[in-house]
Amino acid sequence: MIKFLDLQKITQKYSDEIHEAVNRVVDSGWYLQGKENETFEMNYAQYIGTKYTIGCANGLDALILIFRAYIEMGIMDPGDEVIVPANTYIASILAISENGLKPVLVEPSFETYQIDDSKIEEVITARTKAILIVHLYGQCAYTDKIGELCKKYNLKLVEDNAQAHGCKFNGRKTGSLGDAAGHSFYPGKNLGAFGDAGAVTTSDDELAKAVRAMANYGSQKKYVFKYCGRNSRLDEVQAAVLDVKLKHLDEDITIRKKVAKYYIEHITNPQIILPIIKNWDAHVFHIFTIRTNKRDELQKYLLDNGVQTIIHYPIPPHKQECYKEWNHLTLSITEKIHNEELSLPMSPVMTEEEAKKVVEVIDNWKCEN
């Protein structure tokens, strides 16, 4: 069986360095907010190209903390609107609604699966305060047009960079393109920890201070509480592991791109829609996504032939029970993508033979009717 993602094999690749880092933390007797956080935060900020990285408990928290901080700073108020793509993982939208802000869903484009920047201006109102772009599947969602709209309407640009560490737009990394970004280091992400972990990146001094305080009970000084904050800290063990894996992130991305290129150049089955890649710097292939209108049949066929796949995602946010108020909406592009999407095996430990086998199996697929 070719696994969708073999985490055990990924860890084995850097096993010695990781064990050394974990042992160092175990032996140090210091497990939260210490040297490992400091080192990782510095190295990650440098990697992304921002003044600050603030480690936190997970990617959802990273996004929640950004909006919470803007509210505490008086830049946003509950009831204000935040524009967000309709086809994203639920966390992007939860981060908005948890803060009492109103998510305004915008359809993506079929060509990139990213938010369609030609549909943003028409939904901007006097209450719009931010655009949350999501670099979905590891592809850059930022466009010059989005940057111009933020300037024109004085909107904050927040990036959900959970899937796109290392992705670039004109030489700059995603996560440094807007005012602030949330990052997830969930184990399966391109930069993955051994459990939950996340971070906020920003170059805004005030925001960085507010986010850091908010993630630590709202405290800037021990036992003095400026905000009603939360407990969302990055463990020293996770920071140490992440710092090891950060050193290898670019090599890992290179391998992902090789696999992606192989898929794109070799899959010839006319029933498959491949991703359109115009700029190879602007995609880090967290997920290699194909589409077909016989998705469920293809998934079963692949499994029967030894290829494990995953769907990202089977149900769009506006059709979820947790957002009943949107269930009546028809967002046809989002729905079509959710009905047709299939994610092929993709990882920095995939071999050429494995990629070859995936291609062979797909090209042999003949769907009746």
Picking from 338, 279, 272, 282, the residue whose alpha carbon sits closest to that of residue 311 is 338
Task: Give the binding range for ligand PLP (CB under 6 A) out of 5-13, 53-61, 340-348, 359-367.
Answer: 53-61
**Can residue 134 be called a binding residue for ligand PLP (CB under 6 A)?**
yes
Identify whether 189 is a catalytic site residue. yes
* Contact flags string 16-45 toward ligand PLP, x per CB under 6 A: ------------------------------
Binding residues with ligand PLP: total (CB under 6 A) = 15
**Can residue 86 be called a binding residue for ligand PLP (CB under 6 A)?**
no
* Contact flags string 154-193 toward ligand PLP, x per CB under 6 A: ------x-xx--------------------x-x-------
Position with the least CB separation from ligand PLP: 59
User: DSSP 3-state assignment of 55?
Assistant: strand
Q: With 0-12 CB in 10 A as exposed, 13-18 as middle and 19+ as buried, what is 250?
A: exposed
**Cα–Cα distance for residue pair 360/13, rounded to 1 Å:** 27
Nearer Cβ to ligand PLP, position 160 or 252? 160
**Can residue 59 be called a binding residue for ligand PLP (CB under 6 A)?**
yes
Picking from 284, 321, 299, 256, the residue whose alpha carbon sits closest to that of residue 90 is 321
Bond from prior residue into 142 cis (ω within 30 degrees of 0): no
Nearer Cβ to ligand PLP, position 50 or 163? 163
**Can residue 275 be called a binding residue for ligand PLP (CB under 6 A)?**
no
**Cα–Cα distance for residue pair 287/88, rounded to 1 Å:** 13
Query: How far apart are CB 83 and ligand PLP at their closest, in Å?
Result: 16
Q: What is the DSSP string of 154-200?
A: T-EEEEE-TT-TT-EETTEETTSSSSEEEEE--TTSSS--SS--EEE
Exactly one of 45, 69, 71, 91 binds ligand PLP (CB under 6 A); that residue is 91
Query: How far apart are CB 152 and ligand PLP at their closest, in Å?
Result: 26
Exactly one of 2, 56, 60, 272 binds ligand PLP (CB under 6 A); that residue is 60
Q: How far is CA 321 from the centre of its chain?
A: 23
Cβ–Cβ under 8 Å, residues 173 and 138: no
Nearer Cβ to ligand PLP, position 59 or 229? 59
Nearer Cβ to ligand PLP, position 211 or 272? 211
DSSP state of 106: E
Vertex 360, ends 355 and 366: CA angle to 5°? 135
Q: Residue 222 phi/psi, 5° resolution?
A: -50, 130
Of the residues 51, 189, 222, 366, which is catalytic? 189
Cβ–Cβ under 8 Å, residues 71 and 78: yes
**Can residue 198 be called a binding residue for ligand PLP (CB under 6 A)?**
yes
**Cα–Cα distance for residue pair 102/149, rounded to 1 Å:** 19
Q: Residue 331 corresponds to which amino acid?
A: L
Task: Give the binding range for ligand PLP (CB under 6 A) out of 23-31, 56-64, 96-104, 147-155.
Answer: 56-64
Exactly one of 88, 299, 343, 347 binds ligand PLP (CB under 6 A); that residue is 88
Cβ–Cβ under 8 Å, residues 233 and 56: yes
Picking from 2, 12, 17, the residue whose alpha carbon sits closest to that of residue 243 is 17
* Contact flags string 248-267 toward ligand PLP, x per CB under 6 A: --------------------
Query: How far apart are CB 92 and ligand PLP at their closest, in Å?
Result: 5
**Can residue 89 be called a binding residue for ligand PLP (CB under 6 A)?**
yes
Query: How far apart are CB 22 and ligand PLP at their closest, in Å?
Result: 20
Tokens of 60: 């959802």
Query: How far apart are CB 234 and ligand PLP at their closest, in Å?
Result: 11
Picking from 254, 110, 88, 102, the residue whose alpha carbon sits closest to that of residue 182 is 88
Cβ–Cβ under 8 Å, residues 246 and 190: no
Residues within the interface to ligand PLP (CB under 6 A): 58-60, 88-89, 91-92, 134, 160, 162-163, 184, 186, 196, 198
The set of catalytic residues is 189
